[in-house]
């Protein structure tokens, strides 16, 4: 097994992307034949109802996760909520799922979309740099 520090996570549900502010987070690649991962989020208790609802429904959700360094490209996962536990003023949320391997590189996809929007020159460069920092959901990801 390999572990990784989770820097940020966004949950994508009903074509809406929500960033979940982390107090701390870790990911474990179980390195098994199912290619399964465990993601543990240590977050504010205000997210308790949201994650308990997902746990009860056993709904598969998409997540974009940045590991190790903030400038790393987000990895796309399909996960379910496995458990939600109270820890003082926070909760620990365990997600189980798999890495989506078919995703194209984010930077190339973003650049392609910006060019399709007609951006060129300095305007293209400025918008590309801004979006690489905030990493909005790409149109191709919203369509899936």
Q: Where are the beta strands (DSSP E) in 14-133?
A: 16-20, 22-29, 36-44, 61-67, 75-87, 90-99
* pLDDT class of 54 with cuts at 50, 70, 90: very high
- Check: CB of residue 11 under 8 Å from CB of residue 61: yes
- Residue 60 sits at the vertex; the CA angle it makes with 1 and 35, to the nearest 5 degrees, is 25
- Give the C-alpha separation, 38 to 144, whole Å: 23
Question: What pTM was computed for the model?
Answer: 0.72
pLDDT in tens, 22-51: 999 999 999 888 889 999 999 999 999 999
Residue 15, sorted as left (phi over 0), alpha (psi -120 to 50) or beta, turns out to be: left
Q: Where are the domains of the chain?
A: 2-99, 106-143
């Amino acid at each position: 097994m390999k572990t990784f520090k989770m820097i940020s996570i966004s949950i994508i549900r009903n074509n809406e992307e929500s960033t979940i502010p982390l107090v701390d987070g870790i990911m474990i690649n179980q390195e098994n034949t199912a290619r399964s991962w465990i993601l543990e989020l240590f977050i504010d208790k205000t997210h308790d109802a949201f994650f308990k609802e997902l746990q009860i429904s056993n709904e598969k959700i998409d997540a974009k996760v940045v590991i190790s360094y903030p400038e790393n490209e987000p990895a796309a996962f399909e996960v379910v909520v496995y458990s939600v536990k109270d820890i003082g003023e926070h909760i620990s949320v365990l997600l189980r799922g798999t890495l989506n391997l078919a995703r194209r590189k984010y930077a190339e996809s973003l650049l392609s979309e910006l060019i399709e929007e007609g951006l060129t020159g300095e305007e293209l460069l400025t918008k590309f740099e801004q979006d690489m920092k905030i990493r909005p959901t790409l149109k191709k990801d919203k369509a899936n």
